[in-house]
Structure 1
């Protein structure tokens, strides 16, 4: 196992507000609050430290493992339209994080500790600036395009627009479960964008993301079927 895996920090962003499902991050899921699944997965995967950036006041009185440090997220970074990049930059700077970082969103509770370890192993090859978890998507999106006035502009190879779906190459999409990156590089750039992104492929059954009550209930049912 690469030495890099023994000294990394997990960052878990938790926001109090949620339009799809109020208080979802602290809502009990299969016996514990939703956010604790991400915390426990990070520790099981070998995180030396877990940084939780949050505006949820109740967490300051919660019983948390000694490896967990809380960062108070400013109100201007807690709105529902705020992108993740500035939230992560603030957390890394406030907690003085250096070295490899794994961003774990609490809304992906079905990921496993092994998924995290595999993402770290891929990052440890040195071939990528960012490793991102993905899952298979409908390849027919390769037929799509955008409009420039009345003109159809293909999103990919124009030949894909007229091909049978079965003959199109496989397509994946980000699932939001695991991101691996370097703290200093991310703070300097302030962006996830890179031309060197590694793909950690995860199955659909572990790529479930929670946005509303139906998603939450589906995730709980799936968790209860796991060994």
Structure 2
């Protein structure tokens, strides 16, 4: 397989909001928003899931439902082995776009911007980010009574207004080469590019309140 592949992970278990991935959001199941975004790119979509109903459903042309083993569908399962399993289902070079179902408000331009930046070749991985509070630069970890800053020690003593902007990964879009991931075995790398997304589109659905807010946003056409 060559070209563009969109991987959409959809797990059945959710403690914060049971059944959220298949719950209707603005008229269609939450996971379907990610699939449709992938298909709109012209990508071949791989739906990796442990939900029997989704495995038995015909999702239409361009979508393959891949049965995910139970050991890869636990609450504490990291993304790396899920991706590894999904990419064993196809051979060849491809640009992979990871679209998590819980980020339905990302825009097509967010995805395209990440793909374009990755295509430039300067980064192994490109992900979307959102600006967050700079005060995290003042934080640190405690080890044997010693305070170890997460960034430079100077930041710990700066006024909040003097701190530089800080961005957090928002989980909406990740782009990387399949061959690179197969060699690297994980998403972590020293060469990460970033595309900024506004907070309004970076919402991750974890709770009932998140779900209702996303539905209101989609209903308003924003």
TM-score band w.r.t. shorter chain = over 0.9
Name the count of aligned residue pairs.
221
- Kindly indicate whether the alpha-carbon contact (under 8 Å) linking 2:98 and 2:173 is maintained by their aligned counterparts in 1: yes
Residue 45 of structure 1: how far off its partner (Å): 2.6
Structure 2 residue aligned with 1:187, among 182, 191, 195?
182
- Kindly indicate whether the alpha-carbon contact (under 8 Å) linking 2:48 and 2:65 is maintained by their aligned counterparts in 1: yes
TM-score of the pair, normalised by structure 1: 0.94
Q: Distance in 2 between matches of 1:204 and 1:40?
A: 22
Q: Distance in 1 between matches of 2:183 and 2:210?
A: 35
Structure 2 residue aligned with 1:37, among 22, 25, 33?
33
Per-residue Cα deviation, 1:21-74 (whole angstroms, up to 9, x for no partner) = 111110000100000100111122332x00111011111333422000111101
Q: Report the counterpart of residue 22 of structure 1 in structure 2.
A: 18
Cα 1:69–1:97 change in 2 (3 A) is farther
Per-residue Cα deviation, 1:132-180 (whole angstroms, up to 9, x for no partner) = 1100010010011111222211111111111111111100000000000
Q: Report the counterpart of residue 154 of structure 1 in structure 2.
A: 149
Q: Report the counterpart of residue 3 of structure 1 in structure 2.
A: none
Taking only aligned residues, the RMSD between alpha carbons, in angstroms, comes to: 1.3
Residue 97 of structure 1: how far off its partner (Å): 5.9
- Pairs within 5 Å for 1:136-215: 136-215=131-210
Q: Distance in 2 between matches of 1:81 and 1:96?
A: 28
Q: Distance in 2 between matches of 1:24 and 1:94?
A: 26
TM-score of the pair, normalised by structure 2: 0.96
- Kindly indicate whether the alpha-carbon contact (under 8 Å) linking 1:45 and 1:114 is maintained by their aligned counterparts in 2: no
Per-residue Cα deviation, 1:65-117 (whole angstroms, up to 9, x for no partner) = 20001111011111111100000000010233631100000000000111111
- Pairs within 5 Å for 1:114-133: 114-133=109-128
Structure 2 residue aligned with 1:83, among 78, 86, 91?
78
SS at match of 1:176: strand
SS at match of 1:94: coil
Q: Distance in 1 between matches of 2:10 and 2:198?
A: 25
- Kindly indicate whether the alpha-carbon contact (under 8 Å) linking 1:10 and 1:51 is maintained by their aligned counterparts in 2: yes
